[in-house]
Structure formats: C-alpha cells, structure tokens
Structure 1
Amino acid sequence: MEKYVKIFAWRRTHHPSGAGVLRLIKSKKLSIYSIIKTSLPAALDLASQPIVWLVEAVFIGRLSAAALGGVGFALQIILLTITVLLTFVMGAIILINRYLGSNDRWGANHILGQTIMTGVLFSLVIGITWYFGSPLLFQIIREKEFMANVPVPETYLSGIDSGIQYLKIIALFAPIILTNFMAVSMIRGVGDTHLSMIINITINLTNIILRPILIYGLFGFPRLEVQGAAIAVCTSHTIGFLMTLYALRRPTATLFLSMSELTTPNWKSIKQLFKLGLPTTVEQLVWSGGQLVVSGFVAWMGIRELALHQVFLRIQGVLSMFYLGFGLTSMSHMGKHMGANAHSHAEWTGKMTHRIAFLFVLLVLIFMMVFSGPCFIFSFEKKMPFLLTFNFARFLLSFPWSNCQKP
C-alpha cells in the first residue's frame, strides 16, 4: 500500500492535474507578458541615445565631413572611459536585485548609495582626463592632405579642432553626465524601465530640440556649430540629472537615495561591487577598446574614411541598444527569481527572453532590407558625396545578426 501512495505522490508532483496545468500555462503567459512589458521600454530607452547620436551625425555632417569624424572620435573616447563605470553599475544591479528579491530594501538602498558615491569620484577623474588629455588623443587623426585640398581651409571645420572642442565642453559636465548615467542604469536594472525610459526620452528630446538651434544659430541664438552640439548635450543631461535625483529621493520609489549612504563609504560593499561587475566590464572594455583601435586605424587612413566609419558605428549603436534592453530585462527578472530561490523560473525566463529577442532580430532584418540607405544618402550627400557609391543593403544586413548574441 505504501508503494502505491509513493507512486501517487510522485505522479501528482511531476504530472499536475488539469487545474495545475492551467495555472502553469497562465503563470508562463504572465511571465512572457512581464518580459515584453519591461523589455520594450528598456529597449526604447537604451536605443533613444544612439538615435540622438545618429541625428547628431546628420547635423554635424552638414557642417563638414571632418567635423563629423572628429566629434565621432570624441564620442568613442567617451564611451570607452564610461565602460570603467560599468564595473560598479553591473555589480550594483546584481546585488540590488538579490536584495529586492529577498525583500531587503535597506540593503538595496545601501548598494545604491555606495555605487553613486563611487561614480561621483570616478567621474571627477575621468572629466579631468578628458579635458587635459584631448589635445594629445586627437593627434592620431590624419587630415593635412584633406585640408590641403579644401578651397578655403580657414572656413572649413577641422576634425581635430572639432573633436577637442566637443570633448573639453563635455568634460566640464562629466560629474553630472556620468553620475546620471549610473543612476538611470540602476533604475532600469531593477525593472523600473518606464521611469528610466521617461528620463532618457526627456533628455534626448531636449537634446534633439537644442542641437539645431545651437549648432546653426536659429531663433536669434548664436551659431556655435560643434560647441553648440556639446552645450546641448550638457544642458539636456543636467535636466535629466535633476529628474533622476527627484525620482530617487521619493519615499515611495523602488530605490531611495539616502544621503548618509552617499557620504559614508563602506569598503566591503565597494569591493563586492567591483568583484561582481568586473567580468562584464572586461568584456565591454575589450569591445569598446577594439572599436576605438579600429577607429584609430581608420583615422590614420583619412578624415573622410573616419566620417563614413562614424555613420555606421552609430547605426550599429542603435541596434545594439535594442538587444541590450532585452538582456538587462532578463538579468533583472532572473536576479529577483534567484533572490527568491526560484532557480527553475530564473532559467526559464532567460531562455524565453532570448527567443523573444531573436524574433525582434527578424523584424529588424526586414526593416533594414526595406530601408537600407536612401535616408542616409539624403542626409549626408551634400558634404559626403562618397556615400552615393556605397552598398548600404549588403553592409547593414549584417548588423542584426552580429548583435543578436549580446543578450
């Protein structure tokens, strides 16, 4: 009799009843809905910044191809140094999700404060490096031969001068820009993707509105060209910083920024952040460093080649951020499941997110097949006529597949 009782118990455990199956199906449907609900805002949020960079390329490219190359090279330097901060951001996201999964809000807020404090200190060092190191960094660009063929060199924007001007202005606001980057990344990483989307879209819409006004001197404003583009970046990110600070100081927020945690270093927590985030940082540092090295070789070839290279890097950035949005959402859900000891559910969430991202890749592929190049030729043909001879379709179709492994 005992044998049959054990068999019956085993069958109930491994073969649930009809009601149990329905509950399981309903639970998985809700999980898929939750993944999509949080992934799409995260994808739009992350993609909005590269889209702004692409719009910036249009505005700067209409000034000169050299200016586009110089500003694009400055942007790659910025992205490479920001990668250092990913060590603490990724470590913080992992720890915060574990604390939230076990309902330990104090632990989550403690990690938030320690991460922001570390980011402020690093951003000061990074800003000083950008400002004083920019004249040396841009010597790699070869544009003497190109400038020699320009009819009126005095009125043509130099790539080296453009890049130095852009990077120096950004360096003055580095503590605000980089600290806000870290804070919004953690808000997104814990699953509050709607809030991070609102903040980033506000930043980027403000940026898009200010850029043409300050670059071309519209509505009575002075024509600042490359300097205007940098000022637009700093102004919009300052607005975003104030929004983020207000959101994190609300008592009802998912994460609360405590001033005592922000001003009291805990070396044990900082070491833990570094240990957990270092693998991701090394991966991203190799990727960003590789892109910068390639751009350095392209810059050595010439300023026109560098300008074309920057256009496609920004297109790739848009696509990469879509995939990264799915990856961060998966990490957020899995971290909370791990904190609640639901390991099987965490594994299922990771696999399902990968499948959803793959379907998204197919949609992107179709889009790229239909719109492969006319819009870029229309935007750049006046200052960069060599785009007319480029095969956009063959080149762009490789982007979705090269990025689909990133989640």
Structure 2
Amino acid sequence: MSSLKENKMGTMPIGRLLLTMALPMALSMLVQALYNVVDSAFVAKISDVNQDALNAVSLAFPVQNIMIGIATGTAVGVNALLSRALGERDADMVNRSALNGVFLAGLGMLLSALFGIFCAELFMRSQTSNEAVIAYGTAYIRIITIASFGIFGEIIFERLLQSTGRTIYTLFTQGTGAVLNIIFDPILIFGLFGLPRMEVAGAAVATVLGQIVAFILAMILNHRKNPDVRLHLRGFRPDWKLIGRILAIGVPSMIMVAIGSVMYYGMNLVLMRFEHVRVGLGEVGTAVFGAYYKLQSFIFMPVFGINNAALAIAAYNYGARKPKRILGVLKCGILGATALMVIGVAAFQLIPQVLLGLFNANADMLAVGDPALRTMSLAFVFAGACIIVGGVFQALGNSVYSMIVSIARQLVVLLPVAYLLSLSGNIDAVWFAFPIAEVASLAMTVILFLRLYRKKIRPLSRMPAAE
C-alpha cells in the first residue's frame, strides 16, 4: 500500500478548518443558487399575461433534480471513500475511487440523455393539460438531459477537489459557470444581439453552457492543482467491487434526491387540486411552490456547502480514527448551518413580497405566495442540524440513515399531511405540512445519531490513530 502525507483535515483546528473549507463551497453554492433564481426570474418575464413559462420550468424541476441527485450521489460515495483513504494514507485507493467515480458519472449522463429523448413530453403531460406549458417544459427537459455531461462532469471533478480539502477551487468553477449562465440567459431567452428568441429553451441552453465550462475548468484544476489524485485512464477497467462500495454510500443519497423529486411532483399534484376550488388557483399554487424552491436554495445551498466540508473532514478523521475531531466538526457544522437558517427565516418572514417580486409575480401570485413563504420557512429552524448530521451519517458509511430520515420526512409525513390539509379547501393550510415534517425529521435524526455514536464513534476512542 502506497502512502500519503498527513492532510490538513487531520491536524488543523476544527473551527478554522471547517471555515476555510466550507466558506469557498458555501460561496460557490450561493452563486449556484443565484443563477437558479436568475434563470426563473428571466423565464417569468417571457409573458406579462400568465405564468406558463415559469410553470413549465417549475414542473420540469423534478427531472433536473433527479439528474443532479444521481451526479451528487455518485460524488458523495466517491467523496466518502476517497477522504477515508486519505486518512488511511492509501494513495492507490484514492486514485481507484476517483477513476471509478468518473466512470459512474458517465453512465448517469447516458441514462439522463435517454430519459430526455424518450420520456420528456410524457412526464409533462402527467402533470398538466396546458399545451403551452407542455411545449415549454418538454423543450427544457430535452436540452438539459441530452447535454447533461456538463453537470455530471462538473460535480464529480469538483468533489475530487473537495475530497482532498482543496475547496477554494470549486468557487472558481461554479462561479464561472454561474456567471456565464446569468450572461447568456437574457441573450438566449429574449434573442438579443441578433440571436433568435428561444424563450424557455434559451434558459436551458444557457444553463448547460455554464455547466460545460465549469466541467472543463474542474478537470484542468484537478490535473494541475490536486496532487493527491492522479487519473490515469490508460488500461482502466471498471472495478465492480469498488463501484459497489461507492454505490452503497451514494445510492441512498440518490434515493434521497429522488424522494425529493417525488415529493415535489406530488406537491404539484396536490396544489393542482385547487383548480376545482377556483380556476387558475392550482396553477398559481404550483408557480408559488416553484418560486419558493428557487428562493430557499439561497439558504440551503450554502448550508450544503458547510455539509460537504463537514462530510470530508468527518470521513478523513474516521479513517484516521480521531473521534474528537468528528464530534468537533459536527458541533461547528450545526452551529454554522443553524445560523444561516435563522437568517433565512428572517428574510422569508420580513420581505416575502419582495422575494416573490423577483419572479414578476402578479396580484394572485402575491396573495397566495405571501403566507406560503412565511409558513414554509418555519421549517428552516430545524433543517440545519438535520442536514449536517445527515452528512456525518454518509461520511461514516451509514447513508441508509439519511435515506430513512428523508423517506420519513417527505413521503411518510409531508405529502400525506399536505393532502389531508388540502381537503380543507384552503390552499394556505397546505404549507403547514413543511414545518410539521421537519420537526418529525429532527426527532428521527437525533435517535439515529445516538445509535451511530454508540456503534461507530465512541469505539474509535479505544483504537490507536492511523499512522
């Protein structure tokens, strides 16, 4: 077994380490959230009469989310194994984990492209009969899936940088992709500078262009700035046993994202029930829900940046058998995540109409959206701790715990409660399903963490640190 030098993840004081690793990731993911919002904000301006374009992008979101989930799930598995191998100073395992992760990302891209080609229109028709929305959404889905090699490549190569503690570089990759998307959005959507007006399809093209550039940058930075990982494709053969280990960690993460997409799809169906209460109310509800999901990414994406850093640090120190550092990063991560969530709650409570104004909201959308944002944001208070602890579950090879919590929150609690509240005929009541589900999630997270602590973290104190 070849060896590696001690990494800063095993030596630097935890607070400073988490800050230096998480800050670039949180900033880069904040930029990512910015261009998600900008994307929808420009799309919403296609028509001042209705929200067909915004509805189309909102209804297409589960497909985009599942695609990103496959990519991030693969990357989570690679991240956990690679960081643990660094802690154990096993250079061969580091490189094999990276290569097989890239191979899996390629397979995920192929599956996404096939879905876009054959199933995009069917997916849109399952949610709405509005032909304009169907046409917009089908075009959007086909473009982002067929050109998905950009997002798959970007995510896996960024995670290789994150896994070795070189998080600053992801700020450049994601930031560059986001800025390019923001620049191309109005040009391609509205046909500026002599280019054809592409409307919703233009938003999709702008998105994939940004992702492809970020992918290329991430590959270059890994080659030049990441000496801990060396990708040699000559003679590569998939290691199915190692791929199984990556998937054992990553599939629960993929399922969690898929569950989120099922929840999103289900919520749209629940909200469309209000078309029977008042014509147009269901479509307004789905537009509000889509806007909320874009807006909440401003808060959640930086928290996921903290989570990604905490995951890498916890996995490294699990491999190095340093339980105090695992608990230290858990505490610091929860504090940082909760602080961001409190800021988010304040913004959604104080300026909901300003936030909705970013999406060209008309009077109906503002009337429904104001109480919706205030109610759903109450869930933020509990979500920060759940996200960070879920990352530690993954870092220690217990991704199934995260999956159990996600299933319970979104399928067992949130959707059924939302449906039951919709029976009242009051759309404002439906939004209370979110804080109710998050409280249940926190309770289950605490129970599972105590079990994990007894089984995996506490026994490390009786073992010698890895040499």
TM-score, normalised by the number of residues in structure 1: 0.82
RMSD, aligned CA: 2.4
Q: Is the 8 A contact 1:79 1:288 kept in 2?
A: yes
Match of 2:270 in 1: 297
CA separation in 2, counterparts of 1:29 and 1:178?
A: 31
Task: Return the offset for 1:131.
Answer: 1.8
Provide Cα deviations, 1:113-132, integer angstroms capped at 9, x if missing partner: 10111110221122111221
Provide Cα deviations, 1:297-319, integer angstroms capped at 9, x if missing partner: 33564433322221011112332
| Equivalent of residue 100 in structure 2, options 114, 124, 130 | 114
Matched, 1:74 2:60: yes
Task: Return the offset for 1:143.
Answer: 4.6
Match of 2:198 in 1: 224
Question: Which structure has the larger Rg?
Answer: 1
Match of 2:181 in 1: 207
Match of 1:342 in 2: 322
Task: Return the offset for 1:48.
Answer: 2.3
Q: Measured at CA, do residues 136 and 402 of structure 1 come closer, stay the same or move farther in structure 2, by a change above 3 Å?
A: farther
Matched letter for residue 331 of structure 2: K
Match of 2:412 in 1: none
Q: Is the 8 A contact 1:316 1:399 kept in 2?
A: no
| Equivalent of residue 237 in structure 2, options 243, 247, 264 | 264
CA separation in 1, counterparts of 2:379 and 2:267?
A: 17
Matched letter for residue 113 of structure 2: G
Q: Secondary structure at the match of 2:357?
A: helix
Q: Measured at CA, do residues 349 and 282 of structure 1 come closer, stay the same or move farther in structure 2, by a change above 3 Å?
A: same
Provide Cα deviations, 1:217-237, integer angstroms capped at 9, x if missing partner: 122222111121111112111
Q: Secondary structure at the match of 2:387?
A: coil
Task: Return the offset for 1:175.
Answer: 2.4
Match of 2:113 in 1: 127
Matched, 1:389 2:367: yes
Match of 1:47 in 2: 30
Provide Cα deviations, 1:309-349, integer angstroms capped at 9, x if missing partner: 21011112332222222222111111111222212222222
Task: Return the offset for 1:173.
Answer: 0.7
CA separation in 1, counterparts of 2:30 and 2:136?
A: 25
Matched, 1:63 2:49: no
Matched letter for residue 39 of structure 1: A
Q: Measured at CA, do residues 175 and 193 of structure 1 come closer, stay the same or move farther in structure 2, by a change above 3 Å?
A: same
The correspondence of residues 279-290 of structure 1 with structure 2, limited to 5 A, is 279-290=252-263
Matched, 1:180 2:154: yes
CA separation in 1, counterparts of 2:118 and 2:158?
A: 28
| Equivalent of residue 355 in structure 1, options 332, 335, 338 | 335
Match of 1:255 in 2: 229
Q: Measured at CA, do residues 299 and 187 of structure 1 come closer, stay the same or move farther in structure 2, by a change above 3 Å?
A: farther
Task: Return the offset for 1:375.
Answer: 4.2
Matched, 1:191 2:165: yes
CA separation in 2, counterparts of 1:299 and 1:116?
A: 40
Provide Cα deviations, 1:371-404, integer angstroms capped at 9, x if missing partner: 33224226413xx331332425623642522532
Match of 2:383 in 1: 403
Q: Measured at CA, do residues 364 and 304 of structure 1 come closer, stay the same or move farther in structure 2, by a change above 3 Å?
A: closer
Deviates more, 1:42-51 or 1:110-119: 42-51
Matched letter for residue 137 of structure 2: G
Number of residues of Structure 1 aligned to a counterpart in Structure 2: 366
Greater RCO (CA < 8 Å, at least 6 residues apart): 1
| Equivalent of residue 286 in structure 2, options 306, 309, 313 | 306
Q: Measured at CA, do residues 131 and 296 of structure 1 come closer, stay the same or move farther in structure 2, by a change above 3 Å?
A: farther
Q: Secondary structure at the match of 1:259?
A: coil
Matched letter for residue 313 of structure 2: H
Matched letter for residue 112 of structure 1: A
Task: Return the offset for 1:103.
Answer: 2.4
Match of 1:320 in 2: 300
| Equivalent of residue 376 in structure 1, options 326, 340, 356 | 356
Provide Cα deviations, 1:234-273, integer angstroms capped at 9, x if missing partner: 2111111211121222275443322237x42111111111
Deviates more, 1:31-40 or 1:250-259: 250-259
Q: Measured at CA, do residues 342 and 28 of structure 1 come closer, stay the same or move farther in structure 2, by a change above 3 Å?
A: closer
Q: Secondary structure at the match of 1:406?
A: helix
Matched letter for residue 367 of structure 2: T
CA separation in 2, counterparts of 1:141 and 1:362?
A: 34
Match of 2:18 in 1: 35
Q: Is the 8 A contact 1:140 1:296 kept in 2?
A: no
Match of 1:23 in 2: none
CA separation in 1, counterparts of 2:164 and 2:225?
A: 17
Match of 2:452 in 1: none
Q: Is the 8 A contact 1:247 1:253 kept in 2?
A: no
CA separation in 2, counterparts of 1:251 and 1:234?
A: 25
Q: Secondary structure at the match of 1:48?
A: helix
Q: Which runs of 5+ in 1 are unaligned?
A: 1-26, 148-157
Match of 2:78 in 1: 92
Q: Is the 8 A contact 1:93 1:186 kept in 2?
A: yes
Q: Is the 8 A contact 2:344 2:377 kept in 1?
A: no
Q: Is the 8 A contact 1:159 1:303 kept in 2?
A: no
Q: Secondary structure at the match of 1:380?
A: coil
CA separation in 1, counterparts of 2:89 and 2:293?
A: 41
